[in-house]
Amino acid sequence: MRLKDKVALVTGASSGIGKGIAIRFAAEGARVIINYRPNSPHDKAAAQALASSLADRAIAVAADVSQRIEVEQMMDAALAAFGRLDIAVCNAGICPEQPFLETTDDHWNQVLGVNLYGAFVVSQLAARQMVRQGEGGKIIFTSSVHEDIPYPRYTAYCASKGGLRLMMRNIALELAPHKINVNNIAPGAIATPMNQTVLDDPEEMEKALREIPWGRFGQPEEIAAVATFLASDDASYVTGSTYFVDGGLTHQVSAY
Ligand code: NAP
């Protein structure tokens, strides 16, 4: 058990990659705060079902990560339940399409609000708690191959993930004196609800697979494996790095 008795917060953990990470962390001995988006009955049910399947090792907590007050309340709930925080995975994200010429302020603010500002707020409050505890900690962001690779029609998404790329590096330097490791995981194409339309469309699937040297989509468990490494003591000297988990996609991508 690589995370025995650690306390881990995972945002956007009712679905996809976050859910995979929460399950693996619990299996590795961690106590887990499963964050889900409020006002979504489906997410609430999924998060609560996951928490109860992990028995007394997990709680489900609603918070829109783009609202500081809700993130503060989530931190309070986490501390009330488990008394400390050792690991924060800033994973919640959205990926709506909108061509640049038609991109509205609402679209831009929503995507940047969840993907970048949300990650900023969650990591800041987590880091403050870790500093108070004085025993180091681990912060992991789920960025994307699009922290580097352009993706036409997804300018706001790319801006948010590109922002995460440098925000993570900056935070890693500022938190180094506190022995808080800060890293990104950059997934390629992973089989989650975020990609459901592609997964359900054979033609789109064929196009997508042509870009992936490994010849298939990744699974949430394969992201969770890297997250477990980064959250564990094995990664004690790893900070300020992005781990690409993409079946080679980054090196082959041609045109979208
Ligand atoms: P997913 O299954 O849609 O999961 C995203 C989770 O984030 C959902 O539970 C979602 O809830 C939640 N969320 C959205 N807005 C939120 C908010 N304001 N506050 C709290 N939670 C919120 O997609 P996924 O593929 O697992 O994505 C997880 C992360 O991986 C994202 O940051 C995404 O950008 C990144 N990523 C994914 C891929 C991929 O191929 N799947 C590739 C690269 C990067 P709702 O379902 O209610 O919106």
Report d(CA 24, CA 39) in Å as an integer: 26
* Total tally of structural domains belonging to the chain: 1
Which atom of ligand 1 lies nearest, measured to the CA of 92? Answer: 7
Closest CA to 120 of 22, 40, 11: 11
pLDDT in tens, 158-171: 999 999 999 999 99
**Mutation probe of ligand 1 site: the residue of 145, 190, 198, 209 with most atoms within 8 A of C-beta:** 190
Instruction: Please report, for the domain that includes residue 104, its CATH number.
Output: 3.40.50.720
pLDDT in tens, 167-194: 999 999 999 999 999 999 999 999 999 9
What tokens were used for 29?
Answer: 């001995």
157 an active-site residue? yes
Tell me how far the alpha carbon of residue 145 lies from the centroid of ligand 1, in angstroms. 14
What pLDDT score was predicted for residue 61?
97
> Which secondary structure element, helix H or strand E, spans residue 62, and what is its range?
strand 58-62
Let me know if 173 is exposed, middle or buried by CB neighbors in 10 A (0-12, 13-18, 19+). exposed
Q: Is residue 73 domain-resident?
A: yes
Q: What interhelical angle do 118-133 and 68-82 show, nearest 10?
A: 40
pLDDT at 256 > cutoff 70: no
Q: Is residue 2 domain-resident?
A: no
pLDDT in tens, 193-250: 999 999 999 999 999 999 999 999 999 999 999 999 999 999 999 999 999 999 999 9
Strands 137-142, 87-90: pairing kind: parallel
Output phi, psi for 7, to 5 deg.
-110, 125
Which atom of ligand 1 lies nearest, measured to the CA of 18? Answer: 26
Q: Is residue 125 domain-resident?
A: yes
- Sign for the CA dihedral angle at 50, 63, 178, 244 comes to positive
Q: Is residue 152 domain-resident?
A: yes
pLDDT at 55 > cutoff 80: yes
Tell me how far the alpha carbon of residue 134 lies from the centroid of ligand 1, in angstroms. 31
Active-site option among 117, 154, 157, 243: 157
Per-residue pLDDT, averaged over 49-55, amounts to 89
Range of the domain at 41: 7-254
Report d(CA 253, CA 212) in Å as an integer: 8
Closest CA to 71 of 51, 85, 50: 85
Q: Is residue 1 domain-resident?
A: no
